[in-house]
Chains A and B, each alone.
Chain A
Amino acid sequence: GNSVTQMEGPVTLSEEAFLTINCTYTATGYPSLFWYVQYPGEGLQLLLKATKADDKGSNKGFEATYRKETTSFHLEKGSVQVSDSAVYFCALSADGGSNYKLTFGKGTLLTVNP
């Protein structure tokens, strides 16, 4: 079956530090890959996505590249801010007819200190 494994948290960084959150996946077919973010007290929001191999998704300074050869989709940001403190979820949507259901990782809590 489909599965997503992401880096265990929590991750604590100082402002302006470099961020990497690792994500690897197992899926049948050619999945689309996503990073969702959950800020305190808010719902899940789509952060970025990539739909095919070698695509790079980017948003708000975050980037992730779809690596089919390593089945990975690592999230990076060059300089984090306090406002980036949140829980980050890696997810995939695999071929399944019309059902685009998402399979999520367990989430990684990021805390950025000033």
Chain B
Amino acid sequence: DTGVSQDPRHKITKRGQNVTFRCDPISEHNRLYWYRQTLGQGPEFLTYFQNEAQLEKSRLLSDRFSAERPKGSFSTLEIQRTEQGDSAMYLCASSPQAPRGEAFFGQGTRLTVV
């Protein structure tokens, strides 16, 4: 068990460009979450997958954001037409069927939009 893996660890992009992040959860975990963390704040929920189904999206997730989890394995988070306000740490977490809330986090992808 190698834990939750995220790629890349750092991404610097120009405003207006599209970026895509990848998350590989712990293999037996059917729940996968994306969170966003800005400086001095706790992580904020973005979206949730159970297997391949995206079951909830936060109001924080604008139309420029899209997430997928094909085949219920890895997940991608894409941001289109990036803005400076998108600069943040994007965290992926996975959790087993039970117990409730016990999530395992990756090290995150730090996005800087210049």
Chain A residues with CB under 8 Å of chain B are 4, 32, 34, 36, 42-46, 49, 51, 89, 91-93, 98-107
- Asked whether A101 lies within 8 Å of B45 as measured between CB atoms, the reply is yes
Question: Complex formed: what's the CA distance from A89 to B99 in Å?
Answer: 19
Question: Chain B contact residues (Cβ within 8 angstroms of A): what range?
Answer: 20 to 34
- Asked whether B56 lies within 8 Å of A107 as measured between CB atoms, the reply is no
The answer to whether residues A106 and B41 also contact, given A43-B4, A100-B31 and a CB cut-off of 8 A, is: yes
The answer to whether residues A102 and B43 also contact, given A43-B91, A49-B102, A51-B100 and a CB cut-off of 8 A, is: yes
Q: Tell me if B107 is interfacial: C-beta within 8 Å of chain A.
A: yes
Specify the main secondary structure of chain A where it touches its partner.
Answer: strand
The interface residues of chain A lying within 8 Å CB-to-CB of B35 are 102
Cβ of B112 to closest chain A Cβ, rounded Å: 17
> Which A residue sits closest to B50, measured CB to CB?
A98
Chain B residues with CB under 8 Å of chain A are 4, 31, 33, 35, 40-45, 48, 50, 55-56, 91, 93, 95, 99-108
- Asked whether A43 lies within 8 Å of B105 as measured between CB atoms, the reply is yes
- Asked whether A99 lies within 8 Å of B48 as measured between CB atoms, the reply is yes
Cβ of B96 to closest chain A Cβ, rounded Å: 10
Question: Complex formed: what's the CA distance from A98 to B104 in Å?
Answer: 17
> Which B residue sits closest to A41, measured CB to CB?
B107
> Which A residue sits closest to B42, measured CB to CB?
A104
The answer to whether residues A98 and B4 also contact, given A43-B91, A106-B42 and a CB cut-off of 8 A, is: no
- Asked whether B42 lies within 8 Å of A51 as measured between CB atoms, the reply is no
- Asked whether A43 lies within 8 Å of B103 as measured between CB atoms, the reply is no
